[in-house]
């Protein structure tokens, strides 16, 4: 039945991979997009770090008391460059800060020291210059407030110590020590939940996005490979070759999968590179050993994911091919297949952001009815341990796959592949003719 299949596959892969548009759009751009993004973010981060190290602010000291002096000294010891603007009025100071590229202006009001020593509440006015809102800017402005808060904490400690010389100020201020752990699959594990979520982010975000990209690539390729046969007028010859029509269909699907996998791998490698460029900046506790706490994928969960993924690929391709048969050329096919990407984007967003089973019932049903939700759910099996859902999803996918594959085979097996056309225009014309008579 499959005589000549490898020949067809080789041809499909050659045709697709040598197409400059496909090479660029599906392999090169995704592979380069992330590293370039990573580079941009890294550069921004570095600038932010540098600007943090060399913060310079203007200080308008209207108090001139001892606490105000302590404050400026504290900031200076922490490497903050301070420019005194006591000789300017407020509006002059503001325009000076703007012009001389300072991060902000701190105004210490009159009576600041007095109020603090007398135990009265006082105020400190901090003005940050808004220059465009990049990452570097927001970090340096938050740095100012962090430094001021640290100074405030010091004051509090000192006060507490004066009132209760016998006791540890730390115990008074933070009487409860919180120890946070996580329960995984019914066992308590000595890991902070946020650390765990950080570690899982690659799976709960990366997998659905990766699956979505793979499916979208494969569909576009399959649609292209059918439509270009029409556009380039090679279809008729292909259909009269001594091979079964199903072989042609299978060859097109396999060829598209191969090229899509290359594209998806390029995309994932790019994404990993991108992620790893952040890793250096994340706290070390994120290095959680997933295998040790039973969250690494088990062979069964991998098998389920693989099966689910395989079937969604096949059905997505059969769907794309069946649709693209109705198009006259590659452009037409791609715009016919384009709306189908909604079938991946919604499930991806919901699986990424929430637990689908916690959604309102109608929404949940709609999402579960979309076959492509299931591979994304299956990618969660590794940490939910909910094999049943995955298996039900796979059965559902299998039924859907068989149906669309049957439809695609029917279209390929008959003359429909040659004669099928979307006849919107024609129908309208006929109606008009009928109306006239």
Binding site for another protein (CB under 8 A): 3-4, 7, 10-11, 14-15, 18-19, 232-234, 236-237, 239-244, 414-415, 418-419
Closer of 47 and 244 to another protein (Cβ): 244
Residue 11 Cβ vs another protein, minimum distance, rounded to whole Å = 5
* DSSP per residue, 198-217: HHHHIIIIIHHHHHHHHHHH
Residue 414 beta carbon to another protein: minimum distance, rounded to whole angstroms: 7
> Burial letters for 207-237: b for 16+ Cβ neighbours within 10 Å, e otherwise?
bbbbbbbbbbbbbbbbbbbbbbbbbeeebee
Single out the residue of 204, 149, 182, 425 nearest to residue 294, CA to CA: 182
Q: How many residues make up the chain in this entry?
A: 437
The residue among 248 and 390 lying less far from another protein, judged by its C-beta, is 248
* Residue 18 or 121 having the CB closest to another protein: 18
- Please say which residue, 4 or 385, places its beta carbon nearer to another protein: 4
Three-state DSSP state, 144: helix
CB 378 within 8 A of CB 293: no
Task: Supply the minimum distance, in Å, between the C-beta of residue 201 and another protein.
Answer: 40
Between helices 245-279 and 29-53, what is the axis angle to 10°? 10
* Least Å from the CB of residue 15 to another protein: 5
Radius of gyration, alpha carbons of the chain: 32
CB of 244 to another protein, least distance (A): 6
> CA separation (Å) from 289 to 190, 203, 297?
11, 14, 12
In the complex with another protein, the residue whose CB is nearer, 326 or 350, is 326
CB of 343 to another protein, least distance (A): 30
Locate all alpha helices (DSSP H) within 354-386, ordered by sequence: 361-369, 373-378, 381-384
Nearer to another protein, 9 or 211 (CB): 9
Q: Smaller CB distance to another protein: residue 162 or 415?
A: 415
Task: Say how far apart CA 317 and CA 216 lie, in whole Å.
Answer: 9
Least distance from C-beta 40 to another protein, angstroms?
A: 34
d(C-alpha 411, C-alpha 231), whole Å: 18
Integer Cα distance of 210 and 257 in angstroms: 14
d(C-alpha 305, C-alpha 301), whole Å:
6
121 vs 233 by CB, closer to another protein: 233
């Amino acid at each position: 039945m499959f005589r000549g299949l490898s020949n067809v596959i080789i041809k499909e892969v050659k045709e697709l991979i040598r197409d400059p548009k496909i090479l660029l759009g599906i392999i090169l751009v995704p592979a380069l997009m992330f590293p370039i993004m990573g580079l941009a973010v890294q550069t921004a981060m570095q600038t932010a770090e540098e600007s943090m190290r060399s913060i310079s602010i203007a200080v308008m000291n209207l108090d001139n008391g001892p606490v105000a002096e302590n404050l400026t000294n504290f900031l200076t010891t922490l490497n903050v460059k301070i420019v005194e603007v006591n000789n300017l009025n407020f509006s002059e100071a503001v325009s000076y800060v703007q012009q001389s590229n300072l991060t902000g202006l701190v105004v210490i009001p009159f009576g600041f020291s007095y109020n603090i020593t007398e135990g009265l509440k006082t105020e400190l006015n901090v003005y940050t210059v808004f220059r465009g809102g990049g990452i570097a800017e927001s970090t340096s402005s938050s740095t100012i407030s962090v430094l001021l808060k640290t100074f405030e904490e010091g004051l509090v400690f000192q006060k507490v110590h004066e009132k209760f010389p016998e006791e540890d100020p730390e115990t008074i201020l933070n009487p409860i020590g919180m120890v946070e752990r996580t329960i995984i699959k019914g066992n308590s594990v000595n890991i902070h939940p946020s650390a765990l979520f950080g570690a899982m982010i690659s799976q709960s975000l990366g997998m659905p996005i990766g699956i979505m990209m793979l499916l979208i690539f494969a569909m576009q390729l399959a649609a292209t490979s059918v439509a270009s046969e029409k556009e380039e007028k090679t279809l008729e010859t292909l259909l009269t070759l001594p091979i079964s029509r199903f072989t042609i269909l299978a060859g097109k699907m396999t060829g598209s999968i191969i090229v899509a996998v290359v594209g998806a791998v390029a995309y994932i490698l790019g994404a990993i590179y991108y992620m790893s460029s952040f890793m250096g900046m994340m706290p070390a506790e994120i290095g959680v050993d997933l295998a040790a706490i039973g969250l690494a994928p088990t062979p069964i969960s991998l098998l389920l994911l693989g099966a689910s993924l395989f079937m969604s690929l096949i059905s997505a391709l059969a769907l794309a091919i069946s649709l693209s048969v109705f198009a006259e050329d590659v452009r037409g096919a791609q715009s016919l297949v384009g709306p189908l990407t909604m079938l991946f984007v919604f499930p991806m967003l919901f699986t990424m952001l929430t637990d689908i089973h916690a959604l309102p019932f109608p929404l949940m049903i709609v999402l579960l009815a979309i076959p492509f939700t299931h591979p994304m759910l299956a990618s969660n099996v590794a940490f939910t341990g909910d094999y049943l859902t995955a298996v039900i999803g796979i059965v559902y996918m299998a039924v859907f796959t068989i149906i669309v594959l049957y439809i695609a085979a029917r279209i390929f097996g008959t003359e429909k592949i040659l004669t099928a056309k979307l006849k919107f225009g024609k129908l309208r014309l006929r109606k008009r003719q009928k109306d006239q008579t």
